[in-house]
Amino acid sequence: MLIDTHAHLDEQSFETDLDGVLARALEAGVEKIFTIGISRSTSEAAVRLAEQHSQLFAVVGIQPNYVAEAQHDDFSKIESLASHSKVVAIGETGLDRYWDHAPLDLQKEYFVRHIELAIDRDLPFIVHCRDAEDDVVEVLKETTAGRQLRGVMHSFCGTTATAEECLSLGMHISFAGMVTFKKNDDLRSVAKSIPLDRLLVETDSPYLAPVPVRGNRNEPANVVHTARCVADVHGLTYDQFAEQVTSNTRELFRLE
């Protein structure tokens, strides 16, 4: 069995067939799915979905591209949601230099607030990083205070050097469908360098569908393709790899 550690099941593309999506996930061996907030409203939606479906857990936060739109009480609502029994992490948070939707200083302010909230509530945090590897590592180093961090570099597509720095700070590294793309040998090389006990897998549904379903709407059942790819680069069978990453996920997120 696998756990899809990152999906956006509140997206409009899932409105008409979410029950089918969840059934296909179970059929594929995906026992649990984390549905992720990127704003106050989507975080509230994630919690509602987790309340309605035992297969789902929620992650709540304000993604860096949305922090400029946040109202004055939105983060207070995230703090409140963080206490919900179905919330297993804070995020997604982080930094993004690709899209010019929010000033970097404001992104950093919210990034630190999310990390501090996660530490305060003894929860992991989920990091979005796009074209901002050095900045993200700098913030992580500034917030460690000499302790190991409980967090995930989500949909990792960075360098081995960045991965090593994040690992040294206590972070886990999660791979999505991009690691399966035919011309992505460099990312597969990075995946091979990650210690087995720090690996996670995800879909980032409905985005980043892996080979052999690339170009379609992504859904949690497809995390098996990413898992097979990363298992191959580590020289493991699918079952061996699935057992390891599921154990990693359960331990990091303290799932029963």
**62-95 per-position pLDDT tens digit:** 999 999 999 999 999 999 999 999 999 999 999 9
Share of the chain above pLDDT 90, in %: 98
Place of tokens 């975080």: 43
The set of long-range contacts for 77-85, using a CB threshold of 8 Å and a minimum separation of 24, is 77/40, 77/43, 77/44, 78/37, 78/40, 78/43, 78/114, 78/117, 79/117, 81/43, 81/44, 81/47, 82/117, 82/121, 82/123, 83/121, 84/47, 84/50, 84/58, 84/60
Rounded to whole angstroms, how far apart are CA atoms 17 and 15?
Answer: 6
Rounded to whole angstroms, how far apart are CA atoms 111 and 60?
Answer: 13
| pLDDT value for 235 | 98
Which residues are 126's β-sheet partners? 152
> For 146-208, where are the alpha helices, taking DSSP H only?
160-168, 185-193
Structurally, what CATH architecture does the domain formed by 2-253 represent? Answer: Alpha-Beta Barrel (3.20)
| pLDDT value for 33 | 98
| pLDDT value for 100 | 87
Residue type, 226: T
**192-205 per-position pLDDT tens digit:** 999 999 999 999 99
| pLDDT value for 193 | 98
Q: How many CB atoms lie within 10 A of CB 145?
A: 7
Rounded to whole angstroms, how far apart are CA atoms 168 and 171?
Answer: 7
- pTM for the model: 0.97
Cis peptide bond upstream of 206, omega within 30 = yes
* CB contact at 8 A, 39 and 62: yes
**102-121 per-position pLDDT tens digit:** 999 999 999 999 999 999 99
Which residues of the chain are under the pLDDT cut of 50?
none
Place of tokens 């700098």: 138
Instruction: Select from 212, 220, 216 the least CA-distant residue to 24.
Output: 220
